[in-house]
Amino acid sequence: MPELPDILAYLTALEPRVVGKTLESVRLGSPFLLRSVSPPLSSAEGRRVAGLERIGKRIVFALPGAGAGDGDLFLVLHLMVAGRLHWRKPGARVGGRGALAALDFADGSLVLSEASTKKRASLHLVSGRPALAEFDRGGIEPLEASEDAFRRALQRENHTLKRALTDPRLFSGIGNAYSDEILHRARLSPAKWTQRLSDHEASRLHASTVSVLEEWNARLGGPARSTFPEKVTAFREGMAVHGRYGKPCPDCGSPVQRIVYAENEANYCAVCQTEGRLLADRAMSRLMHGDWPKTLEELEERKRQ
C-alpha cells in the first residue's frame, strides 16, 4: 500500500501537471471504483484543480465552484493496497490490465490501475470541506507532532508497536513497510507492548519515525520533481528489513526474520530488535507447538539437522 512518502511523491509529481488545470473528464473502467452517488461524478468535469491535499493515505483534488451558485467539490482517491497512478498521454485507454479510471486534462491523463483481483481502491466525490472529515481517521501527523504528542498517541491504547504505528486512528500515513523500517532503526521489537515502553524507548521511537520518513521523503520526492513515479512499491532497494526475509541485516549481518498475520507481515532483525529471540506468529505456533525455536542459534541448529 502506498504510504506517506509514496503519497507525498505522487503529490509532488502531480502538482505541476494538474494544479491550475481543468479536469476535462473522468472516465471509469470499473463502476465499483466509485463509492459515492451525490453529487454526480459528472459535476466535477470542467472544474479547475485549485490544489492537492493528503488525508492519511488518500489524495484529495480540490475543485472549487466557478460561480456563486456552485459549491466546492473534492475528489478523494484511496489507492488501498494495489492501486497505483500513472501519467499518460491525453485520452489514454481505460480498461484492461487493471486500469480502473482516468482523470483527463489537456496535457495528459492520470490513470488509476489496480494490480489485484480484490478491487479495493476507491473514488469519492463530496461537496464542501466539512464532508472531508469523514475520511480523517484521526491519527496525528508523525512529522508534525511533538515528542510528547507522539508518546500520548502511542500509549493511548495498549497495542503492539507494529499495530500502533499502522493504526490510522493513532498515526497518519504509516503502513506495513515503513513501520518495519522505523522499528528496526529504533532497535525495538514489533511485538513490544506500547504501555511497556520506557521514556527513553518512546523517545527513540519518535526520533526513528521522523528520520525514516524524512529520509524516504527525500529519496522519493527528489526524482518525483522531474519524473512521474511509475514504480511505487512497498519493497524498495535500500530498505533495511521490509521485504528482506532471509537476507542479511545491513547492521549486524544476521538473517532478517518475519512473522505473518492475516495479509500482512512484520519483518525484523532478531539480533538488533529482540535480543536474539525469534517471534512466533499464530500459524507457526499452532503448527509446531513447543517445537518452535526460540533463538537464532536454535533455528540454525534446526537447519543443520
Series of mean pLDDT values for 10-residue runs along the chain (305 residues): 94 98 95 93 96 97 78 95 94 83 97 85 96 95 97 94 96 96 97 95 98 97 94 89 96 94 85 93 50 52 47
The pLDDT of residue 283 is 52
The whole-number pLDDT of residue 250 equals 97
Same domain assignment for residues 172 and 219: yes
- Report pLDDT for 297: 56
Cis peptide before 39 (omega within 30 of 0): yes
Residues 228 and 105 in one domain: no
pLDDT of residue 66: 72
DSSP 69: T
What CATH number should be reported for the domain holding residue 213?
1.10.8.50
- Looking at the structure, tell me whether residues 122 and 191 fall in a common domain: no
Pair (111, 255) in one structural domain? no
Residue type, 51: G
- The model carries a pTM of 0.90
- pLDDT for res 281: 66
Q: Is residue 210 part of a domain?
A: yes
**Domain span holding position 26:** 4-135
Query: What was the pLDDT predicted at 57?
Result: 96
- pLDDT value, residue 282: 54
pLDDT of residue 234: 82
- The pLDDT score that the predictor gives to residue 65 is 86
For residues 163 and 294, what is the distance between their CA atoms, to the nearest angstrom? 22
259 three-state secondary structure: strand
Identify the pLDDT of residue 292: 47
The amino acid at 285: S
Whole-angstrom distance, CA of residue 276 vs CA of residue 267: 14
